[in-house]
Amino acid sequence: MFLDYTLMKTITNMKKTSFIWISLLVFLSSFTYQDGIENVINALKTGSSAGLAKYFDNYVDITMPEKSSNYSKSQAELVIRDFFNNNAVKNFEVKHKGDNDGNNGQYCIGTLLTKNGKYRVNVFMKSKHDKMLVQEIRIQAE
């Protein structure tokens, strides 16, 4: 009888511990996803191609007024750096951002304010290996 009580108590404690760990993982993973899109937004606000490139997947689709292609991570950083050098960034205003649950992704739509004018920017991110990575960036003159 004592053995049954001890066994039941051990199982109950294991369930509680498992629940706590699972809850903690879910809680922390939600911050990881938010960090990705928020860091991309901050990189756009400051015109940081290096900050943006930290979140690039191995290949990124980039659409711009002058060029459009699928670039490797390093090529994509150079393309964005060139754009920022030619269009000094003043600010980035977020118009809309959200989750794409069917795709395990996030997106952000906003206006990039530069010395040469305004650009509409769409950024699409997808979860890969528990990290949010940029899959596509579209930059269009407004």
What's the pLDDT tens digit per position in 121-136?
999 999 998 899 999 9
What's the pLDDT tens digit per position in 34-43?
578 999 999 9
Q: Which CATH architecture has domain 2-141?
A: Roll (3.10)
What's the pLDDT tens digit per position in 83-113?
999 999 999 999 999 988 777 899 999 999 9
What is the average per-residue pLDDT within 47-68?
Answer: 96
Contact (CB, 8 A) for 136 and 60: yes
Q: How far apart are CA 88 and CA 40, in angstroms?
A: 17
What residue spans define the domains of the chain? 2-141
Q: How far apart are CA 108 and CA 37, in angstroms?
A: 7
